[in-house]
Structure 1
Amino acid sequence: MPGGHLTYDDRRRISEGLAEGLTYAEIARRLGRPRSTVGREIARNGGPHGYHAGRAQQATGWRARRRPAAPAAAGDAGRRDPQAVREFEERLTAAFGGVPTMAARVMACLFTSDTGNLTVAELTERLRVSPASISKGVGWLEQVGLVRRERDNRRERYIIDAEVWYRAWLVGTRSMMLWTETVREGVDILGAGTPAGVRLATASRFFELISTDMAQAAEHYRQTFATTGDIPR
């Protein structure tokens, strides 16, 4: 029903509408839903070229199960299992595919700190590496805009904030755009009419579509959350 949660049938009709090449507004009219509802649903579940009703339904159920019932009490931090935290940080580090190992370890530490910021000394103690290694990891993260630094008296703090996912997504978008441009060069070199040239042209088009979808999803995220004040503008 309009205004309620999307059902599997709604998601199946969204998938069918995308396959037919309908606009978000046309799909929304068919469902009797706001266009913004349809746009958010598609953006968070693979974009217009990757949306599948079954996967979207499963992802929605997973998010519902993961959503906390109430804010955690401040005292909960003291009851954490240090070993479980370390193991989670290791899994999180491995999940940052494409990020240099030390940069990924620093990022995992910042994500799992309640303050969202740490000094070089604190990172050195937690990761048991040299300050030079920390600086190298932080340098990479700063270069791609995933962390920023602020001076706290004599110390510098490295900070990860609410906008980090938006910036991380843009890093991936730029990588896809680079793939598009690089592969496209190969078409001219190998010849557009050759089997290799056709193969590269198809790959170039694929990466172009993916990068476009990623850019649109990032902008949708920014517009949605910036209005609530969650993301700095």
Structure 2
Amino acid sequence: MAQEPSPEQVSQFVERFAGVLANSGVPSMSARVMGRMLVSPTGTMTASELAEALKISQPAVSGAVRQLLQVSFISRERLPGSRKDHYRIRDDVFAAILERRNNALGEWESTSRSGADLFGHDSPAGRRLLEAADFFAFIHEDMNQMIKNWRAEHPTH
């Protein structure tokens, strides 16, 4: 059985995890909140618990939580007898993140195709745009299938 990590080890892991998310485009404060919530023993945290654990201000937590709620990565709930909002990461948050990214690939494909139509398929720009569109379509299709496969194999997520 693994030994319980120290608070310093938890903090270091959260910052490392947040850095990975931030490098892939997640706003850094939101990435820190996600990382901390992932390792929460209960799976839920209040804004004040997040501020204390991350050593950040309440307004910083509020902004990060608002961003994460807007993109449905977390949910807000009230626990019985509590007057504070508790935040929980969605069970399928990583599939949801990839779905959002994959939707962007669909937009990149259609925009690239419209650019190829504008410049002409036989022009240098048109050929580059068609290649980009084909690439985005290929990745988009594969990603759709991977997400479907994941959900079929992990129906509780």
Instruction: Flag whether TM exceeds 0.5 (same fold).
Output: yes
Supply the distance in 2 between the matched residues of 1:147 and 1:94 (Cα, whole angstroms): 19
2:87 matched residue in structure 1: 158
What letter matches 2:35 in structure 1?
A
| Larger displacement relative to structure 2 (169-178 or 212-221) | 169-178
- Structure 2 residue matching 1:113: 3-state secondary structure: coil
The Cα RMSD (Å) is 1.6
1:186, 1:154 → 2: CA distance? 53
Give the unaligned 5+ runs of structure 2: none
The offset of 1:182, in angstroms, is: 2.4
Alpha-carbon distance between aligned partners in 1 of 2:50 and 2:67, rounded to the nearest angstrom: 15
Q: Is 1:99–2:26 an aligned residue pair?
A: yes
- What letter corresponds to residue 141 of structure 1 in structure 2? L
Which amino acid letter does the alignment assign opposite residue 88 of structure 1?
A: F
- Aligned to 1:135, the other structure's residue is in SS state helix
Aligned to 1:167: 96
Q: 2:153 aligns with which of 224, 228, 231?
A: 224
Gaps of 5+ in 1: 1-69
Match of 1:181 among 104, 107, 110: 110
Q: In terms of Rg, which structure is larger? A: 1
Name 2:138's counterpart in structure 1: 209
- State the one-letter code of the partner of 2:143: M
Q: Displacement of 1:129 after TM fit?
A: 1.9
Q: CA offset at residue 99 of structure 1? A: 0.6
Work out the CA distance in 1 between the residues paired with 2:54 and 2:113: 42
Deviation at 1:165, TM superposition (A): 2.1
What CA distance in whole angstroms lies between the structure 1 residues aligned with 2:127 and 2:101?
25
Question: Number of paired residues?
Answer: 153
**The one of 65, 69, 72 aligned to 1:145:** 72
Equivalence for 1:38: none
SS of aligned partner of 1:150: strand
Deviations 1:116-135 (A, max 9, x none): 21100011111222222212
| Identity within the alignment, % | 35
8 Å contact kept, 1:116–1:161 = no
Q: In structure 2, what is the Cα distance between the partners aligned to 1:117 and 1:182?
A: 40
TM-score by length of 2: 0.88
Q: CA deviation at 1:89?
A: 1.1
What is the TM-score normalised by the length of structure 1?
0.61
Larger mean CA deviation between 127-136 and 94-103 belongs to 127-136
Q: Quote the Cα distance in structure 2 between the aligned partners of 1:212 and 1:194.
A: 27
Match of 1:127 in 2: 54
AA aligned to 2:42 is: T
